[in-house]
Structure 1
Amino acid sequence: MEPPASPTFEVKAEREGPAGSPGELSVEFELEWDEGAEDGADAGDLEIE
């Protein structure tokens, strides 16, 4: 793998299972980028969703 200098960093918090019942909680951390994209192609401001 050859990640670019500035990949997209994503954090997801999830709850799985039926509503109203104990379920499974998780936090996922991901680094994402398009294969073959040049360094800096997606450079920009910080975006929090």
Structure 2
Amino acid sequence: MWNPKAARSLDEYLQVLPSEIEIIKQDFENMSLELGKKIKQLEEEKNAIRTRC
């Protein structure tokens, strides 16, 4: 038998629980940010080396 109260609770729970795709998206954005920082650091090191030569 269908229980509307239980269905509503499940819907509320699912709204709070992040979906797997949202978690993957957040992980991707974090990795992208870290890689961007690393690229900037490497470019600065490269430029520092060039100015010494």
Do they superpose with TM above 0.5? no
**TM-score scaled to structure 1, two decimals?**
0.21
**CA radius of gyration, larger in:** 2
Q: TM-score, normalised by structure 2?
A: 0.20
Q: Which has the higher helix share?
A: 2
| Greater strand proportion | 1
